[in-house]
Amino acid sequence: MGSKKPLLLGLTALLLALGLSLAFDGGGRWIDRRAYLLGTLVEIEAPDDGAITAAFQEIARVERLTATEGEGELARLNREAQGRPVKVSDELFALLERARRYKELTAGKFDISLGRLVDLWGFGEGATKAPSQVPSAGEIARLLKGREIVLDKAKRMVQLGPNAELDLGGIAKGYAVDRAIQVLKDYGVKAALVNAGGDIRIYGMRPGRFFSRRPFRIAIQHPRDEAKILGIVKLSGDRAIATSGDYERYFIQDGVRYHHILDPATGRPARGCISVTITAPTALEADALATGVFVLGPQRGLELIERLPEVEGIIVDPEGKIYKSSGLADLELRY
């Protein structure tokens, strides 16, 4: 070996250092796990397996709280609170208050009291086959009435009108995602993605190639071609994104598409948009606003988005025209 020894040693040390640093890249390895919860396939990505398990457990807890069937608190409220006040947990009360806030923001278009109408149309979560018939105008009109929700903050009591059946489908996933993110943060996780069937929240930066970190890339589903995307939104920091569309739960009768997002003013599918994507600080906000803006329609919806701080949006109308809020003006999208 002789004089070559120092060179060889140096080279070996360098290789070892490189190898070890690649193997133990600071935050640990990036783990991707999925579970069937909230009636969808929930995906969590983070560098900590134990934290992911705890986050899934938290989502399962929120699922029990917000389920419309079974022995959860919301299901019980729906059974017992018609015509008389029922005491609920602080958590459920806070959730109902937040729902009321989004109802006010969206001029009544985001409405959690439409459970019976959704079931009448046949779009309920438990449905085993797609509906095929438009309900009668009389039935729709009857179920539109008597949907009051009375919240008594001092006593934590809730009372419902005779036709009010609470359906938290518009915010339960968002809330569950926010709770899961909180659990991951409590564990000290530096970056994560939680995706509950398209209600997504991220924080931090995702590990990229060779030690780098990069923003998360979220693709937006094309509303009329399952194989296409509208474009890609890059998110970093602490942001959520959600979409409401007419292309998953729907049926076609006499050439007309009837989908599951009902306008509380008419009891029929909202017609102004075919897809609405919202980015916001929390998944609950993104979730609720995506639904509310979808029903409001492009013009009024865009006005609302522009008025709200830290909220951006992308709206597609039935002609395929794309509306973007000012904060996303540079985003490239193609219908």
Interface residues toward other proteins, by CB under 8 A: 1, 5, 8-9, 11-13, 15-16, 18-20, 22-23, 34-36, 39-41, 43, 45, 127-130, 193, 195, 197-198, 200, 206, 216-221, 226-227, 229, 232-233, 241-243, 245, 248-250, 277
Nearer to other proteins, 40 or 53 (CB): 40
Least separation in angstroms between CB 272 and other proteins: 19
- Residue 157, exposed/middle/buried by CB under 10 A (0-12, 13-18, 19+)? middle
- Report, in Å, the least distance between residue 99 CB and other proteins: 21
Q: Provide the H-helix boundaries in the chain.
A: 5-23, 49-66, 73-80, 90-105, 115-121, 137-144, 172-186, 283-296, 298-307
Strands 312-316 and 322-324, how do they pair?
antiparallel
Report, in Å, the least distance between residue 316 CB and other proteins: 13
Other Cβ atoms closer than 10 A to 128? 4
Q: Residues 12, 14, 15, CA angle at the centre, nearest 5°?
A: 65
Q: List beta partners, residue 149.
A: 160
Is 48 or 92 the residue whose CB approaches other proteins more closely?
Answer: 48
Smallest separation, CB 306 to other proteins (Å): 21
| Residue 38 beta carbon to other proteins: minimum distance, rounded to whole angstroms | 11
Shortest approach of other proteins to residue 282 CB, angstroms? 15
Q: Which is nearer to other proteins, 169 or 264 (CB)?
A: 169
For residue 280, give the amino acid letter: A
The minimum distance between CB 165 and other proteins, in angstroms, equals 20
Q: Nearest Cα to 116, choosing from 176, 169, 165?
A: 165
Strand order in the sheet with 86-87: 86-87, 157-160, 149-152
Rounded CA-CA distance 224/207 in Å is 32
Q: Do residues 158 and 100 lie in contact, with contact meaning Cβ atoms separated by under 8 Å?
A: no
Angstrom distance (rounded) from CA 77 to CA 61? 17
> Cβ closer to other proteins: 140 or 205?
205
- Decide whether 156 or 213 has the Cβ nearer to other proteins: 213
User: Which has the closest alpha carbon to 199: 267, 148, 245, 262?
Assistant: 245
CA distance 26 to 44: 20
End-to-end CA distance of the chain: 66
CB of 265: closest distance to other proteins in angstroms? 26
- Cβ distance to other proteins smaller for residue 42 or 77: 42
For other proteins, the closer of residues 193 and 262 by Cβ is 193
Contact 275, 247 (CB under 8 A): yes
Q: Which is nearer to other proteins, 97 or 225 (CB)?
A: 225
